[in-house]
Amino acid sequence: MSELPAELRTALGTLLEGRGRGELAQRARHISQQYRANTPSARAVAGSSDAVAYALSRMPATFAATVAVLSELAARAPGFRAGTLLDAGSGPGTAAWAASEVFADLGAVTLLDGNPAFLELAGVLGDGHAVLGRAERRAGDITKFGLAGRRFDLVTCAYALTELGDAELDAATDRLWAHCGGALAIIEPGRPRDYRRLMLVRERLFAAGARIVAPCPHQRPCPLATPDWCHFSVRLPRSREHMRMKGATLPYEDEKFSYLVVARDTVAATPAHGRIIGPPEASKFAVTLPTCGLEGVGKVLISKRDPEAFRRARRLDWGDPL
C-alpha cells in the first residue's frame, strides 16, 4: 500500500495543532459533497481551514494514485529524467510530492493553482523539503495560463480537469501540452463521466502529436464501449486522523482513478504489450485476466496446466502490464 512520506505526514500532523478535529472533519465532508457535485475548488475550498481539511482528507488518495501513475511512466520510459516539473491545478502540491518520491532527479518545481489558500498551504507543507521548499508558486487558471513559453520535463495535472466544464477542456489540454517538453500525466477520478472526458483529451493530444505511453498499449481509439470505462484502483492505508476526516471505519481506502500519460517524441518509451483493465478472477484451476491489447478488449485464461504461467498470473493485479 502507498502512503504519504514521513516528512509530509509530520507536516500535516503539525497543522492539527490548535484546531478542532470535529470542525475539520465537518469541513472535509462538506468539501467532499461539493466535489461530487463538480463544484470548482475555488468555491469549495474558501480559506485556510478548508484547505487543511481538504489536505487531511484527500492528499493520501491523490498521492497514492499519482505515485502509481508516475511509477508507470518511470517503468515505461526508464531513461526519462524529470528535472523540471509543472504541477498544474496543484492544490496543496500533492502531485509534486508524488513526483519527488518517484523521480530522484527532480530539481525545480512550479506549482500552479487558482486558489490562494492551496498555494499558501503548499508552501507550508513543503517548507524544509530539499526540492519542494524552493518551489515556485504561481496563481493561474489551467485553461489560460502562460509561463513565458517555458516547457517542463514533466507536467502533472491531478484531479483538476474534473472541475472544468466540458467547453473548457480543449483550452486546458492545449495549455498543458504547450508547456510540456517531455511527458504529461493526467489523473482523474475513476468515474464514467471523467473517463469519457479524458478520452476527448486523449484524442486532442494525439492529434497534436503526443504519443501515448500509458495505460493504453496502442495508439488507436479506445476499444471500450459504453457502459464500460477504463479505470484502475490503488489501496492506501488510513491513519487515525484520516479515518476521522473521512468518517470511515476501515483502516484502508481503495482509490479509483483514470489516467493518461503521453510524451513527446524526444522521450523514449515502450508501451505495455497489454494491460489488465479489471480485477483478475482466480480459482484453483485458472486465472482469468480482463485485458486491453493490440487486438482490443478481451479476456486471457491462464490454466494451471501451465504451472509457471499460472504462478505468474496469480501475482498480477488490476492495472498491471501484461
CATH label of the domain that carries residue 230 = 3.40.50.150
Q: Indicate if the pLDDT at residue 213 is higher than 80.
A: yes
Average pLDDT over residues 287-296: 92
- Would residue 201 count as lying in a domain? yes
- Would residue 322 count as lying in a domain? no
Q: Indicate if the pLDDT at residue 91 is higher than 80.
A: yes
| Residue 71 buriedness (CB in 10 A; 0-12 / 13-18 / 19+) | middle
111 and 214 in a single domain? The answer is: yes
- Would residue 151 count as lying in a domain? yes
296 and 240 in a single domain? The answer is: no
* Model confidence pLDDT, tens digit, residues 198-209: 999 999 999 999
246 and 284 in a single domain? The answer is: no
- 67, three cell numbers: 505515485
Q: Indicate if the pLDDT at residue 20 is higher than 70.
A: no
- Would residue 321 count as lying in a domain? no
Q: What are the C-alpha distances in Å from 72 to residues 77, 84, 162, 170, 284?
A: 8, 18, 22, 25, 30
| Residue 6 buriedness (CB in 10 A; 0-12 / 13-18 / 19+) | exposed
Average pLDDT over residues 268-280: 93
Report the predicted TM-score, pTM, of the whole model to 2 decimal places: 0.93
- Would residue 269 count as lying in a domain? no
225 and 306 in a single domain? The answer is: no
- Is residue 272 within a helix (H) or strand (E), and if so which, with residue range? none
Q: Which residues, 6+ apart, have CB-to-CB distance to 94 below 8 Å?
A: 58, 59, 62, 63, 66, 158
Give the chain's domain count. Answer: 2
213 and 64 in a single domain? The answer is: yes
Average pLDDT over residues 245-262: 87
Q: Indicate if the pLDDT at residue 35 is higher than 80.
A: no
Instruction: Pick 16 or 5 by higher pLDDT.
Output: 5
- 200, three cell numbers: 476527448
231 and 310 in a single domain? The answer is: no
Crossing angle (nearest 10°) for helices 48-76 and 6-15 = 170
- Would residue 228 count as lying in a domain? yes
Domain that holds residue 306: 274-315
- Would residue 73 count as lying in a domain? yes
Q: Residue written as cell 499519482?
A: 66
255 and 310 in a single domain? The answer is: no
Q: Indicate if the pLDDT at residue 18 is higher than 70.
A: no
Q: What are the C-alpha distances in Å from 169 to residues 124, 154, 174, 195, 272?
A: 31, 20, 9, 13, 27
E-only strand ranges, 127-243: 136-139, 152-158, 180-189, 211-214, 232-237
297 and 185 in a single domain? The answer is: no
- Would residue 107 count as lying in a domain? yes
131 and 251 in a single domain? The answer is: yes
294 and 253 in a single domain? The answer is: no
176 and 311 in a single domain? The answer is: no
- What does the pLDDT read at residue 253? 87
228 and 132 in a single domain? The answer is: yes
